[in-house]
Amino acid sequence: MEHVEVIDSVCTYCGVGCDIAANVKDNKIQSIFAHPEGVVSEGNLCVKGKYGFEFVDAPDRLRIPRIRKRFLAQNPTIYEAIALHVKELDETWVETTLNAATTAAAMKLQEIQAKYGRTSVCSIGGARTSCESSYLLQKFTRHTLNSPHVDNCARICHSPSLKGMRTTIGEGAATNPYNDIYNAEFMIVFGSNTTEAHPIISNRIVDVAGKHDNLAVFDVREITLHRFAKYKGIIPHEANLLVLNMMAYVIITEELYNEHFLSDRTKGFESFKAKILNDPYANPKYFEHIEGYENLSKLIPKVAREYALKRSMIFWGLGITEHIDGSYAVMAITHLALMTGNIGKQGAGLMPLRGQNNVQGACDMGMLPYYDPDYQTPKEIGLMTPQLVDEMLEGRIKAILNMGEDLTHVHPNSNKVNRALDNVEFIMVQELFMTEIANRADIVIGVKSAYEKTGVYVNAMRRLHLSQPLVKSDLPDDWEVIKLLDNKMGGNYTYEDSKQIWDEVREVAYRRFSGASYNRLERHRVRGLQWPVHTEDTPILHQLDFRTEDGYGEFHYHPYQLRGMVQEIQEKRLTGYHLTTGRTLAQYNNASQTSRCEKLNKRYDETILLVHEDDAADFTSEKVILKTEFGQSAPLTVKFTDKVQPKTLFCTFHHAKSKINNLFGDRCDELILTAAFKSIKVEIINV
Ligand code: SF4
């Protein structure tokens, strides 16, 4: 009988981090299913987890390092050094060995730093690689290259959650385990299309809401979760902070706050209260004058009351963070928890639903320009990705090391990014496939996917999972490429395996990971461990004090600035269309993995523009181009629906050919520069 092995690991896609098990035969994944004892997946996987593995054996997987011919022609000394190891591939590329590719990269990085200075190089990482690789990339950049410029893809998603939560409660992470949903008496989901983006969390929410009728949902469009909600909030674009401050206003004016908690655990409430009471936009009655949204004037107080008087949890996603006031909105969310004591206990807490499977881990590892590992202050603060792009345009950043992040596809203002990349002398990319950024690179190195390697991943509830390979691969892990590069640039990395790197992480980031050895993670593979992990792990954060310097939760009030759609409606001049973008269930981010899985691709292989039926007169052809001052999209297929509001549009950004991110400019979160992907005014061109 043919031998089928069952191997367990963790899903490579979203931040839920489901426990998976795979049937593997002849070093090929046959099927993936939920680990029968999985605490996260609870016996279910979404379609991505179940069917999203074909990419591993895709024929266009990057298996041999490649170098752009033009790069070698422009760098004859480098060509001479590796000429014996170069083989023709096509008119653009030559193939080479990993050794030769890293030799070429090291020579070029040295040349660039000698010519333009040590800070002319930067590293940008994705968050689907392991903690070990993220840790090593930031260490290599900060220490071997001696450049402070390190960033990761959290810049375009949950950096505002980190900022907002650290400012108010000292820790930028979910406070409770997912299963605490079963202990909550009330839940608010705000700016998260959980059913599409974090399906296995959505299952729990739907389950509980179905039994207890205890769910409030706020979004700019009608999403699946609204069907299960007691309070169905459809709000205007860019009104998050407005609604959240209104909830605080209700809690204050109706004295629903928890005085005991406020005096024991927080500071700054009195000043916060005074500011809210003086805010002209904080009274929910304001919505009585916002046509089409009048119901919110009554709905917001009802939600605020239930939230305050019950054991409650709040979940949020990029609908909160990808705005100019994303960090402030996160602070406004934590204010609600601080006022009511809905934090630091079972069934009550704050749950940012983070995007990629290791985005929490990448941040924990210090892949951020303003944090070393364990959120320590680095000796030198580097630049955030949008600032790096500006520096590229100015000619001050000359080299990029890009590990699993598609700068030219998933970041905003793609035309500007491409102009910036034209100014860069050297780009090296570690990837699975020829993504948009790989097609702009000088050296591209194919690396192991998550299903081929060992490493630690931290999911959106701080749960550490030691992932093990489902199949063997000869490709290098990301950290092995960095190690080689380091050695060729005079460094002394001697790591033999990912465990040695992780053991170093446990020393450097001891406040979170000291007790999380590979052995222990192995033993707790099913239950998992939530950081901080010392002798015990920590399922619920902030039980006794907050992780701020003095242990108190802090209020940092920020008023809503009237703008965008709310202002247009108030001033009765709502014209044109507001676009919001997001994910769909079957695809993932730049779709580099999911678009190579037939079963997923069948479900969503082009970008559809959702338009309200009432707006049909403006959409006279089947396809339209969207246009802004920054660029235009490709022609998009129009679908009429009643699930978006009139004068609002929705589409995804997964497929590069749709060119959606051409539309966005530099509008971003004021504190942390996360792009305002959730609302932009667009012009329609029927084609
Ligand atoms: Fe994977 Fe997320 Fe789906 Fe779970 S919910 S199977 S982690 S994509």
Q: Check whether 1 has a pLDDT greater than 80.
A: no
Q: Please list, in sequence order, all residues whose beta carbon lies within 8 angstroms of the beta carbon of residue 601, skipping any fewer than 6 positions away.
A: 586, 594, 595
pLDDT reported for residue 657: 85
Atom of ligand 1 nearest to the CA of 201: 5
Segment 334-355, tens digit of pLDDT: 999 999 999 999 999 999 998 8
Query: Ligand 1 mean position to 433 CA, how many Å?
Result: 21
Both tokens of 201, joined, read 């969390």
Strand partners for 187: 215, 313
Examine residue 214 and state whether it is found in any structural domain, yes or no: yes
Q: Which of 353, 385, 410 is the last residue of a domain?
A: 353
- Residue 465, sorted as left (phi over 0), alpha (psi -120 to 50) or beta, turns out to be beta
pLDDT reported for residue 23: 96
pLDDT reported for residue 603: 67
CATH number at residue 135: 3.40.50.740
Atom of ligand 1 nearest to the CA of 12: 1
Atom of ligand 1 nearest to the CA of 14: 2
Q: Check whether 444 has a pLDDT greater than 80.
A: yes
User: Cis peptide leading into 532, omega within 30 of 0?
Assistant: yes
In angstroms, the CA 646 to CA 234 distance is 12
Looking at the fold, whether 322 and 251 belong to one and the same domain comes out as yes
Amino acid (1-letter code) at residue 239: A
DSSP state of 378: P
Q: What is the average per-residue pLDDT within 73-99?
A: 97
In angstroms, the CA 502 to CA 509 distance is 10
Query: Ligand 1 mean position to 482 CA, how many Å?
Result: 29
Looking at the fold, whether 169 and 138 belong to one and the same domain comes out as no
CATH number at residue 581: 2.40.40.20
Question: Which residues line the pocket of ligand 1, CB cutoff 6 A?
Answer: 11, 13-14, 16-18, 45-46, 48-49, 198-200
Q: Which of 477, 498, 519 is the last residue of a domain?
A: 498
* Edge-first strand listing for the sheet containing 5-10: 5-10, 19-25, 28-34
Looking at the fold, whether 302 and 181 belong to one and the same domain comes out as yes
Residue nearest to atom 2 of ligand 1 (CA): 14
Looking at the fold, whether 126 and 193 belong to one and the same domain comes out as no
CATH number at residue 318: 3.40.228.10
Both tokens of 131, joined, read 């903690």
Examine residue 180 and state whether it is found in any structural domain, yes or no: yes
Strands annotated E in 39-89: 66-68, 87-88
Query: Ligand 1 mean position to 217 CA, how many Å?
Result: 21
Examine residue 519 and state whether it is found in any structural domain, yes or no: no
Q: What is the average per-residue pLDDT within 130-137?
A: 97
In angstroms, the CA 628 to CA 349 distance is 39
Q: Which of 468, 498, 528 is the last residue of a domain?
A: 498
Greatest Cα pair distance in the chain: 78
Q: Please list, in sequence order, all residues whose beta carbon lies within 8 angstroms of the beta carbon of residue 409, skipping any fewer than 6 positions away.
A: 435, 436, 437, 590, 656, 661
CATH number at residue 9: 2.20.25.90
As for how many domains the chain has, the answer is 4
- The candidate with the shortest Cα–Cα distance to 408, out of 123, 659, 150, is 659
* Residue of higher predicted confidence among 26 and 588: 26
Strand partners for 400: 122, 427
Do 102 and 96 contact (CB within 8 A), yes or no?
no
DSSP state of 62: -
Separation in Å, CA 20 to CA 33, 332, 465: 6, 36, 11
Q: Please list, in sequence order, all residues whose beta carbon lies within 8 angstroms of the beta carbon of residue 274, skipping any fewer than 6 positions away.
A: none
Examine residue 415 and state whether it is found in any structural domain, yes or no: yes
Do 335 and 168 contact (CB within 8 A), yes or no?
yes
Q: Check whether 41 has a pLDDT greater than 60.
A: yes
Backbone angles phi, psi at 128, to 5 degrees: -105, 5
Q: Check whether 641 has a pLDDT greater than 90.
A: yes
In angstroms, the CA 353 to CA 177 distance is 12
Looking at the fold, whether 261 and 391 belong to one and the same domain comes out as no
pLDDT reported for residue 573: 86
Segment 172-230, tens digit of pLDDT: 999 999 999 999 999 999 999 999 999 999 999 999 999 999 999 999 999 999 999 99
Looking at the fold, whether 307 and 197 belong to one and the same domain comes out as yes
In terms of DSSP bridges, do strands 399-403 and 426-431 run parallel, antiparallel, or are they unpaired?
Answer: parallel
Query: Ligand 1 mean position to 15 CA, how many Å?
Result: 7
DSSP state of 153: G
Examine residue 30 and state whether it is found in any structural domain, yes or no: yes
Atom of ligand 1 nearest to the CA of 200: 5
In angstroms, the CA 72 to CA 96 distance is 12
Residue nearest to atom 3 of ligand 1 (CA): 46
Query: Ligand 1 mean position to 565 CA, how many Å?
Result: 34
Q: Indicate the average pLDDT of the chain.
A: 94
Instruction: List, as one string, the DSSP characters of 466-504.
Output: EE--SS--SSPPHHHHHHHHHHHTT------SHHHHHHH
Q: How confident is the model at residue 156 (pLDDT cuts 50, 70, 90)?
A: confident
Q: How confident is the model at residue 154 (pLDDT cuts 50, 70, 90)?
A: confident
Examine residue 643 and state whether it is found in any structural domain, yes or no: yes
pLDDT reported for residue 382: 97
Query: Ligand 1 mean position to 116 CA, how many Å?
Result: 43
Query: Ligand 1 mean position to 182 CA, how many Å?
Result: 19
Looking at the fold, whether 470 and 335 belong to one and the same domain comes out as no
pLDDT reported for residue 2: 63
Query: Ligand 1 mean position to 49 CA, how many Å?
Result: 5
DSSP state of 7: E
Looking at the fold, whether 288 and 379 belong to one and the same domain comes out as no
Query: How many distinct helices (H) and strands (E) make up the chain?
Result: 23, 28
Looking at the fold, whether 223 and 298 belong to one and the same domain comes out as yes
Looking at the fold, whether 457 and 604 belong to one and the same domain comes out as no
| Alpha helix stretches (DSSP H) within 423-563 | 478-488, 498-508, 510-513, 518-523
Do 51 and 66 contact (CB within 8 A), yes or no?
no
Q: Check whether 605 has a pLDDT greater than 80.
A: no
The gap between the terminal CA atoms of the chain, to the nearest Å, is 58
Segment 576-602, tens digit of pLDDT: 899 998 887 778 777 778 888 888 877
pLDDT reported for residue 604: 67
**CA torsion, ordered 545, 672, 375, 268, to nearest 10 deg:** -20
The crossing angle, in degrees rounded to 10, of helices 326-340 and 159-169 is: 40
In angstroms, the CA 676 to CA 661 distance is 11
Looking at the fold, whether 42 and 93 belong to one and the same domain comes out as no
Strand partners for 45: none
Do 633 and 663 contact (CB within 8 A), yes or no?
yes
Q: What is the average per-residue pLDDT within 23-45?
A: 94
Query: Ligand 1 mean position to 199 CA, how many Å?
Result: 7
Separation in Å, CA 606 to CA 484, 588, 603, 620, 652: 39, 13, 9, 20, 9
Pocket test for ligand 1, best of 8, 12, 13 (most atoms within 8 A of CB): 13
Helix (H) or strand (E) holding 248: helix 240-253
Q: Please list, in sequence order, all residues whose beta carbon lies within 8 angstroms of the beta carbon of residue 554, skipping any fewer than 6 positions away.
A: 167, 168, 169, 266, 267, 268, 548
Pocket test for ligand 1, best of 32, 35, 46 (most atoms within 8 A of CB): 46
In angstroms, the CA 87 to CA 97 distance is 9
Q: Check whether 676 has a pLDDT greater than 60.
A: yes
Q: Check whether 127 has a pLDDT greater than 90.
A: no
- The candidate with the shortest Cα–Cα distance to 640, out of 622, 627, 653, is 622
Domain that holds residue 246: 159-353
Backbone angles phi, psi at 444, to 5 degrees: -125, 130
Segment 513-565, tens digit of pLDDT: 999 999 999 999 877 899 999 999 999 999 999 999 999 999 999 999 988 88
Q: Which residues of 513-526 are buried (b: 16+ CB within 10 A; e: fewer)?
A: bbbbbbeebeebbe
Q: Which residues of 298-325 are buried (b: 16+ CB within 10 A; e: fewer)?
A: ebbbebbbbbbebbbbbbbbbbbbbbbb
In angstroms, the CA 368 to CA 374 distance is 11
Residue nearest to atom 6 of ligand 1 (CA): 49
Examine residue 42 and state whether it is found in any structural domain, yes or no: yes
Pocket test for ligand 1, best of 9, 32, 35, 45 (most atoms within 8 A of CB): 45
Query: Ligand 1 mean position to 472 CA, how many Å?
Result: 23
Looking at the fold, whether 192 and 319 belong to one and the same domain comes out as yes
In angstroms, the CA 156 to CA 354 distance is 11
Examine residue 489 and state whether it is found in any structural domain, yes or no: yes
pLDDT reported for residue 411: 84
